[in-house]
């Protein structure tokens, strides 16, 4: 008989919508969450979406799909390490790796074509209709779209568990107008889902005033994401020769990064071909995972184990992570190799959005090769029509958006 994991309650495992499962179902609730994410169309489409380098520039780079798989692997490793090393966890009271995997695999489902710049432009274009935010869109896909069809566009998500939805909610401020700098928010209609996740009006109020309220699984997902993109973006940048030893040394000197000299030496050895990049990255990920721990929170926001622990990373490892993130931002993300195709891609995304917006409002004819989103009805209010248009454009892969855009020019 499988030992019950007391870390999770029936409340954690309750799903948003009824699940129809066989009597002999062999998976736990979170394994079902993970499997439904993997088998979704939204997850498959990540193979054609930009991570940093616009897809098609090379066949060597990470896409959103490979990035998400790497995040899940790191997240699973963090969970396994904590379950085996922490004295606060036991065989019958431990973090569920499938739940963390589900969160890691789903965390970027809502990202549009052309990476973060595409997300920023869609947010501007949707300003009159609630904005656009990648994390909010991931939640929308899980709760409204992922298992939908022509007959039931809304409320046809994957019936995710409460713990799963909570694990991807990095940001819990409802409404673009309420968030700092108009970013990192949930859509207005998602306030109802947030209330279901917490079932605590006081807690909802705290989140709207900027208090960070996250379960341990969300913290693991977020840190795993940071580790994955920092190391992989550096790997891909070195592979494309975007960094030279001279550039990196100038960066260290100018930025006055407070990090141990040994990390600088390792980066130098990689650039001088003294050690393989793959070995350096493996070493980094390994030592960073070994530096992670949890501590008990005396007064948790929610009285379930998911909220009773805080994730911590050793100071030296965190400094290394921040140093390499800064290096990536300064020397890779701002390079012309990244910026030029990214800018071109964002223009394509904007022109497609404007076409669909104008077609929906009858300001231009609908092209046969560019039909309107499935399920769009004249009876829908304006904000719902525009949310569907945004879903349609955001769901495209880079190449699909580029191909459709070419029809506008014919």
Q: What is the pLDDT along the chain (410 residues), one digit of tens a residue?
A: 356 899 999 999 999 988 888 889 899 999 999 999 999 999 999 998 877 655 555 556 788 999 999 999 999 999 999 999 999 999 999 999 999 999 999 999 999 998 888 999 999 999 999 999 999 999 999 999 876 544 344 556 899 999 999 999 999 999 999 998 899 999 999 999 999 998 888 888 889 988 999 999 999 999 999 999 999 999 988 888 888 899 999 999 888 777 889 999 999 999 999 999 999 999 999 999 999 999 999 999 899 999 999 999 999 999 999 999 999 999 998 888 888 888 999 999 999 999 999 999 999 999 999 999 888 888 899 999 999 999 999 999 999 999 999 998 76
Query: What per-residue confidence (pLDDT) applies to 349?
Result: 96
Q: Name the class of domain 14-208.
A: mainly alpha
Q: Tell me how far apart the terminal alpha carbons of the chain are, to the nearest angstrom.
A: 64
The reported pTM is 0.94
Query: What per-residue confidence (pLDDT) applies to 236?
Result: 87
The residue with tokens 């039931």 is: 152
Query: What per-residue confidence (pLDDT) applies to 66?
Result: 92
Dihedral, 349, 355, 357, 361 alpha carbons, nearest 10: 180
Query: What per-residue confidence (pLDDT) applies to 151?
Result: 39
User: For residue 89, what are the contacts with CB-CB under 8 A and spacing of at least 6?
Assistant: 7, 82, 83, 95, 294
Smallest CA-to-CA distance from 203 within 305, 304, 302, 308 is with 302
> CA 129 → CA 5, 153, 175, 207, distances in Å?
43, 19, 10, 22
Query: What per-residue confidence (pLDDT) applies to 4?
Result: 86
Smallest CA-to-CA distance from 171 within 151, 156, 185 is with 185
Instruction: Please state the φ and ψ torsions of residue 18, each to the nearest 5 degrees.
Output: -75, 135
DSSP strand E in 232-317: where? Answer: 292-296, 309-313
388: its two tokens = 């569907």
Query: What per-residue confidence (pLDDT) applies to 152?
Result: 44
């Amino acid at each position: 008989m499988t030992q019950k994991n007391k870390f999770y309650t029936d409340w954690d495992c309750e799903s948003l919508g009824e699940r129809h499962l066989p009597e002999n179902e062999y998976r736990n609730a979170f394994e079902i969450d993970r499997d439904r994410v993997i088998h979704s169309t939204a997850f498959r489409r990540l193979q054609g979406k930009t991570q940093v380098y616009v897809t098609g520039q090379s066949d060597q780079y990470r896409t959103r799909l490979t990035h998400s798989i790497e995040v899940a692997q790191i997240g699973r490793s963090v969970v396994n390490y904590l379950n085996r090393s922490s004295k606060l966890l036991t065989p019958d009271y431990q973090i569920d790796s499938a739940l963390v995997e589900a969160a890691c695999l789903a965390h970027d489902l809502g990202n549009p074509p052309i990476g973060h710049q595409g997300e920023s432009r869609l947010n501007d274009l949707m300003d009159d209709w609630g904005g656009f935010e990648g994390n909010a869109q991931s939640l929308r896909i899980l709760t409204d779209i992922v298992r939908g069809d022509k007959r039931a566009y809304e409320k046809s998500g994957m019936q995710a568990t409460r713990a799963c939805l909570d694990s991807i909610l990095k940001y819990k401020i409802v409404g673009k107008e309420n968030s700092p700098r108009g970013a990192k928010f949930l859509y207005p209609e998602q306030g109802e889902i947030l209330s279901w996740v917490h079932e605590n009006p006081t807690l909802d109020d705290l989140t709207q005033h900027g208090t960070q309220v996250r379960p341990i699984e969300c913290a693991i997902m977020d840190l795993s994401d940071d580790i994955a993109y920092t190391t992989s973006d550096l790997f891909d940048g070195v592979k494309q020769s975007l960094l030279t030893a001279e550039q990196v040394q100038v960066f260290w000197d100018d930025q006055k990064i407070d990090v141990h000299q040994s990390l600088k030496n390792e980066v130098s050895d990689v650039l001088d071909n003294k050690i393989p990049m793959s070995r350096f990255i493996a070493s980094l990920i390994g030592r960073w995972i070994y530096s992670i721990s949890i501590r008990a929170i005396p007064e948790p926001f929610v009285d379930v184990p998911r909220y009773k622990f805080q994730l911590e990373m050793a100071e030296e490892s965190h400094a290394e992570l921040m140093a390499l993130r800064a290096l990536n931002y300064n020397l890779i993300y701002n390079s012309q190799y990244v910026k030029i195709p990214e800018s071109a891609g964002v223009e394509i995304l904007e022109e497609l959005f404007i076409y669909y917006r104008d077609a929906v409002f009858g300001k231009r004819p609908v092209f046969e090769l560019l039909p309107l989103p499935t399920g769009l009805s004249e009876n829908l209010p304006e904000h719902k029509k525009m949310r569907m248009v945004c879903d349609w454009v955001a769901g495209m892969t880079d190449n699909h958006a580029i191909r459709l855009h070419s029809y506008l020019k014919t």
